[in-house]
Amino acid sequence: MSLSKPIATAIFVSLFMATTSFAQVCRNLFPYAEGVVYDNNGHDLKAFIESNKKDLLYKGGKINGFSGNTWGYLQISNAKVPSLDNDGNMNFSQYINATLALYKTKDGAEATWWSRQCNSPKGPLVNEKVDVADRLDMPLVSSHDVTHDLEFKTFTVVEYFSDVYDAYDYDVLLKNYLLVKTGTVKDVNDYQAIISFYDAFLKKFTYVEDPLLENKSFITFLTVHGTRYIGYFNIANSKLAGHLEAVHLDYEKDKEELIDNIFSRLTGHVVYLYGDNLFSVDKDLLDYSRAHNIRLIQRNTATTKMFNSEK
């Protein structure tokens, strides 16, 4: 179906004005790409590879093996680099955050990076090609190559080494994902049970790309080798967007802080509690839900009910 000339002209003008407005607000749109990759005083992709390659191959190999290569594994960190104006001049007073990413492929590993224009969390994506010669001890590929490969994974574990990250990136770039702060899973062998648990969790959905799920969030509970994990998820772009934490609930205030933190990140007005042991936070969850008008629905792992079936 073709658009009429007046409509097409209006759309073009709107897009032009939006782009022009974005550029006017920020004159330093782009990051210094070489600085992201190898020229940022050791705070760059080159240094991240040198410090993490062995760890990436070991953990990623385990996750690939435990999942039959159906799960992906990324390690990410952050680099602050000078911005560039349209003439290519560096501005050291206006930095741009760049995401450094290492990806465990089936047979090896790849490195990539990306950032957002003007450091805007939802700005246009930037991933310039950089000539690295022999500077990196890992192939440098485009971010699209990595995210395209991950489209075919059931889940992706995103292990982050810096608290500076943009969750929106993973909402739009990945399929189902699980953000995990480095050090959360102390024994990599725990991933065998974690993967099995979330594979079973995913089977409780008729399909995730369901508009009926958009107002729902999920809190999951599992224990692996004595470590208690809580994973919580929203539906973002018809995908499961999650975060995994290891929890230590020694005092009542620990429970309150945990519940407040989790619900501050959830977007659904209906929240499912999925697991066979709620770690004695049942009352805290109920109190919070009543105070904030949130509907809770509890499901154990043996349920045959689908999350899609309830309104």
Residue range 76-99, pLDDT digits in tens = 999 999 999 878 899 988 999 999
Rg (CA), the chain: 22
Q: What is the pLDDT of residue 87?
A: 84
Task: Say if residue 309's pLDDT is above 90.
Answer: no
pLDDT tens-digit profile of 163-221?
999 999 999 999 999 999 999 999 999 999 999 999 999 999 999 999 999 999 999 99
- C-beta of residue 281 within 8 angstroms of C-beta of residue 250: no
- Please, is 4 exposed, middle or buried when counting C-beta atoms within 10 Å of its C-beta (0-12, 13-18, 19+)? exposed
**Mean per-residue pLDDT over the chain, rounded:** 91
Which amino acid type is present at position 190?
D
Across the range 48-54, mean pLDDT stands at: 98
Q: What is the pLDDT of residue 62?
A: 98
pLDDT tens-digit profile of 139-166?
999 999 999 999 999 999 999 999 999 9
Task: Say if residue 25's pLDDT is above 90.
Answer: no
Task: Say if residue 307's pLDDT is above 60.
Answer: yes
CA angle 275, 280, 284 (to 5 degrees): 100
Q: How confident is the model at residue 310 (pLDDT cuts 50, 70, 90)?
A: confident
Q: What is the pLDDT of residue 19?
A: 45
pLDDT tens-digit profile of 234-291?
999 999 999 999 999 888 889 999 999 999 999 999 999 999 999 999 999 999 999 9
Task: Say if residue 114's pLDDT is above 50.
Answer: yes
Q: What are the structural domains of the chain?
A: 183-311 (3.30.420)
